[in-house]
């Protein structure tokens, strides 16, 4: 697979951002939550820098990418122009890319195994950068999907803290595509609450209103802003 951005430039990404902002504000209002309680992570994976610049210039400051190599190709130049932009890794992370991830990203949403904990702890100590860490929970127990199983989550979170000295800030989930998402969001929120975790990364273009209703603090929205990925 190529790491080159391949999707076409969307001329309407600024309009997409405005529409998502309006819908997100509405979802927060309906949920009785302040808009400031939810961070919009604009998922720019596969889109080239030219598509991202207008969204940065429109004021969006938090972006999500799912691959380290692609993010390394696009973001150093974008961050040079917008130093206050924050970058979140939302896709799986290989342990041998942990150091690159710790230097480039401000948050990592996909912590799911002890070997990655060890690599991240080492990289954090070496580089002195402390990205926010989310444990990914495979709430649907899907074999092809990353994440710890719900019944293993408490033990894994404890191991992150006690065995690796990591500060875990929250949980992330990606519900199965063919199921109603709300039970998965509710389960993720319940596991977070009993482990004292304040942050919840859940909700995408199709289901972020439900996620906001169930306590999402980070919604990861790509296609509703940037258009369909090529």
Whole-number Å distance between alpha carbons of 50 and 46 = 12
From 62, 103, 182, 205, residue interacting with ligand PLP (rule: CB under 6 A):
205
Q: Which of 10, 60, 66, 100 binds ligand PLP (CB under 6 A)?
A: 66
The answer to the question of residue 45 lying near ligand PLP (CB under 6 A) is yes
Bridge partners, 98 (sequence order)? none
Write out the H or E segment, with its range, that includes residue 110.
Answer: strand 107-111
Q: Is 223 in the site for ligand PLP (CB under 6 A)?
A: yes
Q: How far is CA 133 from CA 20, 157, 201, in A?
A: 25, 11, 11
Q: From residue 80 to residue 119, what is the string marking binding to ligand PLP with x (rule CB under 6 A)?
A: ----------xx----------------------------
Best CA proximity match to 146, nearest among 119, 174, 120:
174
Instruction: Choose the stretch contacting ligand PLP; rule: CB under 6 A; options: 51-59, 142-150, 210-218, 220-228.
Output: 220-228
- Closest Cα to residue 117, out of 150, 162, 173, 171? 162
Residue 169 phi, psi dihedral angles, 5° rounding:
-100, -25
Q: If binding is defined by CB under 6 A, does position 220 make contact with ligand PLP?
A: yes
Any contact of residue 62 with ligand PLP (CB under 6 A)? Answer: no
Nearer to ligand PLP, 118 or 176 (CB): 176
């Amino acid at each position: 697979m190529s790491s080159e951005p391949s999707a076409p430039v969307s001329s309407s990404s600024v309009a997409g951002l405005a529409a998502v902002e309006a819908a997100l504000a509405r979802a927060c209002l309906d949920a009785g939550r302040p808009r400031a309680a939810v961070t919009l992570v604009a998922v720019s994976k596969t889109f080239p820098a030219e598509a991202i610049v207008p969204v940065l210039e429109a004021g969006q400051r938090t972006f999500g990418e799912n691959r380290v190599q692609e993010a390394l190709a696009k973001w150093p130049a974008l961050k040079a122009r917008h130093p206050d932009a924050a970058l979140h890794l939302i896709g799986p992370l290989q342990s041998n890319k942990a150091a690159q991830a710790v230097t480039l990203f401000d948050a990592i949403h996909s912590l799911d195994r002890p070997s990655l904990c060890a690599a991240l702890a080492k990289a954090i100590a070496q580089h002195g950068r402390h990205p926010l860490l989310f444990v990914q929970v495979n709430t649907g127990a899907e074999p092809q999907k990353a994440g710890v199983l719900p019944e293993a989550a408490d033990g894994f979170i404890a191991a992150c803290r006690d065995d690796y000295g990591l500060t875990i800030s929250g949980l992330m989930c990606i519900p199965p595509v063919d199921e109603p998402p709300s039970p998965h969001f509710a389960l993720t929120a319940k596991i977070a609450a009993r482990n004292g975790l304040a942050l919840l990364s859940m909700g995408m273009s199709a289901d972020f209103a439900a996620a906001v209703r169930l306590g999402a603090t980070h919604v990861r929205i790509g296609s509703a802003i940037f258009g369909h990925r090529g």
